[in-house]
Amino acid sequence: MANHELTVEVEVFGEAIAEVEAIAPATTWQTWLQTWLRQLAPTLSPIQAYELSLQFTTDAGIAALNRDFRQQDRPTDVLSFAGVDDTPLPLAVLATIPFNLGDLVISVETAQKQCDAHGHSLREELAWLAAHGLLHLLGWDHPDEAQLQAMWAMQRSLLASVGLSLPESAYVAETG
């Protein structure tokens, strides 16, 4: 297999995009997600080409998705819809097109409430949620406290790789 440079195509959109663009334009999300995927080094694409969408929405928008897909009729902070299905594409096809990781949907309203409660910026909270969602797209999960702490540790590492951190955040595991 030839050695390919990892690439990612990110479509950034949504009804809350204007607020997000003011603090982190689409080019920033593209850079962050590419940096994170390089760090995570997934092996889903033989040509190391990936694509995903990143939608910034409202509480009403994410509540509708949460109701329709998770049977929970309330807003949440981030939803991840993996692009992988039960029938993988043939290798010959994967060698010619980007691998679709899936879709991330983030509620900017819920993110604002969380960053206010945890004492960091909206930019940091949105990056935290995008990193969390990306890990879910790559198969990470947190059914117990140990796996949640491992996921949060990876999120902190991903944020650090793009110059962000949540030093005073409730998301940082307590020691001792």
64-119 pLDDT per residue, tens: 999 999 999 999 999 999 987 667 788 888 899 999 999 999 999 999 999 999 88
| Sheet with 99-107, side-by-side order of all strands | 7-13, 49-57, 99-107, 78-82
Q: What is the CATH number of the domain that holds 96?
A: 3.40.390.30
- Nearest Cα neighbor of 162 from 114, 112, 126, 108 is 126
136 labelled binding-site residue: yes
- 124 has pLDDT over 90: yes
Q: What is the Cα–Cα distance from 43 to 84, expressed in whole angstroms? A: 13
| Structure tokens given for 29 | 């999300």
Higher-confidence position of 1 and 29: 29
142 labelled binding-site residue: yes
How high does pLDDT run on average in the chain? Answer: 91
Q: What is the Cα–Cα distance from 119 to 160, expressed in whole angstroms? A: 18
| Measured torsion, CA atoms of residues 115, 120, 126, 127, in degrees rounded to the nearest 10 | -150
3-state secondary structure of 161: helix
Q: Is residue 50 part of a domain?
A: yes
Q: Is residue 2 part of a domain?
A: no
Chain position carrying tokens 């949460």? 66
Number of folded domains in the chain?
A: 1
120 labelled binding-site residue: no
- Nearest Cα neighbor of 168 from 117, 122, 134, 129 is 117
Q: Give the range of the structural domain holding residue 155, as residue numbers without chain letter.
A: 7-161
